Amino acid sequence: MSESAEALAAALTAEYAAIWAYGPVGVRLSGTERKAAAEAEAAHRARRDALVVQLSTGGGSVPPDRAGYALPFPVTDRASALRLAVQVEERTAAFWRAALPVSTGAERDRALAALVEYAVRATRWRRSAGLTPLTVPFPGRPG
């Protein structure tokens, strides 16, 4: 498998986990925040679906989804739900960032679009959570 296909398979696994995490996030939010969580989950589902098609038609390996994923901490209230939403976006962005140097053309454009989308969404969740700083200098890069 090429480096690019491996990076995309890893991004797909991150998308699976993001979709799963938005379940516990969404049930702890209400109003516009719950709507934003549903929209985020839908965006991750769309990107997952596109990756499954891309990998399966491009001869890559499609990693299977799991029945569940371990959360980094219990999600028991609005504050923890918002904290998890930030982490979901930051962690998923990191997988797309890793795909950038090993991809080219339209594939690279898609990876960059995902990175930017998730960085913007993480910033919005940070704002909702009252976290500072609101932005990070290099989205998708570990601390």
Q: What is the pLDDT of residues 63-108, one digit of tens each?
A: 999 999 999 999 999 999 999 999 999 999 999 999 999 999 999 9
> Please, are residues 140 and 94 in contact by the beta-carbon 8 Å criterion?
yes
Phi, psi of 14 (to 5 degrees): -65, -35
Residue 136 has pLDDT above 90, yes or no: no
Phi-psi region of 140 (alpha: psi -120 to 50; beta: other; left: phi over 0): left
- Tell me which residue of 101, 122, 121 sits closest to 111, measured CA to CA: 101
pLDDT per position as a tens digit, 73-84: 999 999 999 999
| Banded pLDDT at 139 (limits 50, 70, 90) | confident
Domain spans in the chain, listed from the N-terminal domain onward: 3-64+73-129
**Which token pair is 37?**
């969580």
Please give the CATH architecture assigned to the domain spanning 3-64+73-129: Up-down Bundle (1.20)
Contact 58, 103 (CB under 8 A): no
Can you tell me the distance from the alpha carbon of 93 to that of 101, in angstroms, rounded to the nearest whole number?
14
Listed ranges 1-10, 27-36, 134-143; the one with the highest mean pLDDT? 27-36
